[in-house]
Amino acid sequence: MLSAYNTQILDDTVIKIRVVLIYKPFIDVFYNADTGNCSYALIEDAARIFGADNAFIGWHIHPFDDPSQHIPSSEITFADFLKAVEEHA
Per-residue pLDDT for 54 more than 80?
yes
Structural domain count, the chain: 1
Instruction: Note down the domain range covering 55.
Output: 2-88
> What is the average per-residue pLDDT within 69-88?
94
Per-residue model confidence (pLDDT) at position 71: 97
**The residue count for the chain:** 89
What is the reported pLDDT for 23? 72
Q: What is the pLDDT of residue 6?
A: 66
What confidence category does residue 4 fall into, taking pLDDT thresholds of 50, 70 and 90?
low
CB 53 within 8 A of CB 38: yes
Q: What is the pLDDT of residues 18-40, one digit of tens each?
A: 877 777 789 999 999 899 999 99
What are the angstrom distances between the C-alpha of 18 and each of 24, 31, 65?
A: 12, 12, 23
